[in-house]
Amino acid sequence: MLTLKNILCISLLMLGISIEINLAKECKIPENNEDIDWDKVKNDWYLVLHTNDEVMNEDVIGAKLQNFSNTNEGMQMVVTNLHENSPPQTFTIDRTKRIDGVYYGMKSEKPAVLASHTLTQDGGTNNNAKKIDDALFNGDILVLYDKKNYLVHAFCSLSGEWVVWSAFPTLNPTIHQISSMWNKLIEKGIIVQLYPSKIVEHPELMESLN
């Protein structure tokens, strides 16, 4: 799990950012991003930090990303989401490459994908989470990856705010890994506050899937 020291360092990093930059930049996918060879993305990656959007603060408590590969259109990966309101869901995601580092989320009709982010405790649909999904599946997604420290997905919500989901090769990232991610977000003009996923407090839930 994230240690208290790590959480404190995250808070200090965010405080430093807020002091240095008074106004957050508008949500706009930047150009001139790094290309990613998905066939070389190895190991499993875990969603550790996020913007506490409606998907992450209601139902999804963590995620594992794995089995990455290049496709003719762009990329493919396998995602396992852990939920508070339903059993884990594992599904394949395909994305079309726009330009280097920018992908288009292809809408899936698979029940596992459609329900993965939007379930409520009574089995209904969280409409606010669905809006996040609508933005995810109908707009550009910026992917930031440096091969060993972080794998970030960032996109604009329908209301024009950044949604950022940051994965690491461990559920307990080092301060170096976290600061490397922050530096890249700042470089891209993405100024957000991030929160630990609930799964970092209960890593045994993710380990039980292995």
Two tokens at 140? 């550009």
Cα distance from N-terminal residue to C-terminal residue, the chain = 17
Two tokens at 71? 């496709």
Sole residue written with tokens 């989401």: 81
CA dihedral 116, 121, 126, 130 (to 10 degrees): 0
Sole residue written with tokens 């930049």: 25
Give the three-class secondary structure for 142.
strand
How far apart are alpha carbons 129 and 113 in whole angstroms?
A: 13
Cβ contact 192:162 at 8 Å: yes
pLDDT (0 to 100) of residue 108: 66
**CA neighbor of 141 nearest in space, from 130, 152, 127:** 152
Distances (CA, A) of 3 to 63, 142, 197: 19, 29, 13
pLDDT (0 to 100) of residue 23: 44
pLDDT (0 to 100) of residue 8: 43
Sole residue written with tokens 């992450």: 56
Complete domains list, the chain, with CATH: 4-14+32-207 (2.40.128.20)
pLDDT (0 to 100) of residue 200: 87
Two tokens at 106? 């292809």
How far apart are alpha carbons 62 and 168 in whole angstroms?
A: 12
pLDDT in tens, the chain (210 residues): 455 345 545 544 554 554 444 445 589 999 899 999 999 998 899 999 999 888 887 778 899 999 999 999 999 999 998 887 778 888 889 999 999 999 997 666 666 666 677 777 777 777 888 888 888 888 999 999 999 999 999 999 999 999 999 999 999 999 999 999 999 999 999 999 899 998 888 888 777 666
**CA neighbor of 44 nearest in space, from 71, 68, 74, 76:** 68
pTM for this one?
A: 0.86
pLDDT (0 to 100) of residue 137: 85
Predicted confidence (pLDDT) per residue in 106-154, tens digit: 666 666 666 677 777 777 777 888 888 888 888 999 999 999 999 999 9
**CA neighbor of 91 nearest in space, from 105, 108, 69:** 108
Two tokens at 59? 């139902």
pLDDT (0 to 100) of residue 166: 97
